[in-house]
Amino acid sequence: MNKRYFLTRLILIPITLFGIMVLNFVITQAAPGGPVEQVMSRLTAETQGKPGEIHIQENGSSAVYRGGTGLSEEIRQELIQQFGFDKPPLIRFIGMIKSYLQFDFGKSFYQDKTVIQLILEKMPVSISLGVFSTLFIYLISIPLGIKKALLNKTPFDTTTTFILTVCYAVPAFVLALFLLIVFAGGQYLHLFPLKGLTSYNWETFSLGHKITDYLWHMILPTLAMGIGGLASLTFLTKNSFLEEIHKTYVLAAKAKGLSLNSILYKHIFRNAMLIVIAGFPSLFISLFFTGSVLIEVMFSLDGLGLLGYESILNRDYPVIFGTLYLFGLIGLILNLISDFVYTLIDPRITFNQRKR
């Protein structure tokens, strides 16, 4: 194992994460319609034509507006101070990074909750979607890819290739809409629930009933997210096994009289699965953090994807940067773990640069 390589990668994690935060901080500062403008716009719309006294509450601080013709500059300055925008961008960025190093991500601009509280509230939905979709993809793609490699260029291989290509081409939200219409009481069958992670009276169920109800609700979202990801992993598995099947050590094992299953699972499987394992972190991260926004909306699931999308629309900077920092750190660590697993499976992999 190349300890120097992993030590270098470990040192690069904070540097890479810092670069990500700098880039996104600069972009958000340049983007129009910041939090102050968002609040001013909402208050103007709410108070238009409604004279009287209005109390403005933001993160525990309050201000009072009197009148119905517009918001005064005094209110604007109070909002700027409440959001911390009275400080220079560099000072705000340094303060943010110092807090993030202690995993203190602050409070949402628009909700009286910390960023950690919001993440923990949305986590069960995203964990459910990410874990079940990943399991669905791997449990189907790997056996199917092996079968396609063994039956290469047969009618089975051709037919499954066509089906997988169609599944890959169909967007997840179109598939979700189809599943809802056909199987969730749209116009045909009512086999699965229309929305939510559990039934409304879930708390009254027994333990066994709670588990089955939870799994019942997860079937359609998992299918909508997972079917599109089957093709790439199946073809990757098939090509990896095809490459290994024709190598010398396989021919030598056949000559010794070893059975096909013994050759397949004791020799080929270990080498062919390396490239499949390498793709696990990126697949899981994409499903867990970014791939579920539309699915969450269509199935009324309040998860991390929807949280991130709404925070960008509302310019809720603490939520944006807090989730970006946390998920970026997790993604970088998972990629490093993937390389480490590489070396455990095949000690021949050292990640050393070849000398010319």
Half-sphere exposure at residue 135, Cβ-oriented, CA atoms within 13 angstroms: 9
Of 225, 198, 175, 174, nearest to 300 (Cα)? 198
Residue 237 tokens, joined: 């598995």
Confidence of residue 290 (pLDDT cuts 50, 70, 90): low
Rounded mean pLDDT of the chain? 78
Confidence of residue 58 (pLDDT cuts 50, 70, 90): very low
Predicted confidence at residue 157, as pLDDT, reads 92
Q: Which of 199-208, 253-262, 310-319 is the least confident region?
A: 253-262
pLDDT tens digits, one per residue of 115-133? 999 988 888 888 888 888 8
Q: How far apart are CA 56 and CA 75, in angstroms?
A: 9
155 Cα distance to chain centroid: 36
Confidence of residue 156 (pLDDT cuts 50, 70, 90): very high
Helix, strand, coil percent content, the chain, rounded in steps of 5: 70, 5, 25
Predicted confidence at residue 59, as pLDDT, reads 47
Confidence of residue 349 (pLDDT cuts 50, 70, 90): low
- The mean pLDDT of 183-191, rounded to a whole number, is 75
- In terms of average pLDDT, the best of 68-82, 209-223, 282-296 is 209-223
Phi, psi of 185 (to 5 degrees): 85, 15
* Contact call for residues 283 and 233 (beta carbons, < 8 A): yes
Confidence of residue 65 (pLDDT cuts 50, 70, 90): very low
The fraction of the chain above a pLDDT of 70, given in percent, is 80
Evaluate whether the domain defined by 115-345 bears CATH number 3.40.470.10.
no
Q: What is the residue whose two structure tokens read 């919001």?
A: 118
Predicted confidence at residue 159, as pLDDT, reads 94
Predicted confidence at residue 254, as pLDDT, reads 77
Predicted confidence at residue 189, as pLDDT, reads 77
The fraction of the chain above a pLDDT of 90, given in percent, is 7
Q: How far apart are CA 349 and CA 342, in angstroms?
A: 7
Residues whose CB falls within 8 Å of the CB of residue 180, separated by 6 or more in sequence, listed in order: 186, 194, 220, 298, 299
Locate the domains of the chain by residue range.
36-101, 115-345
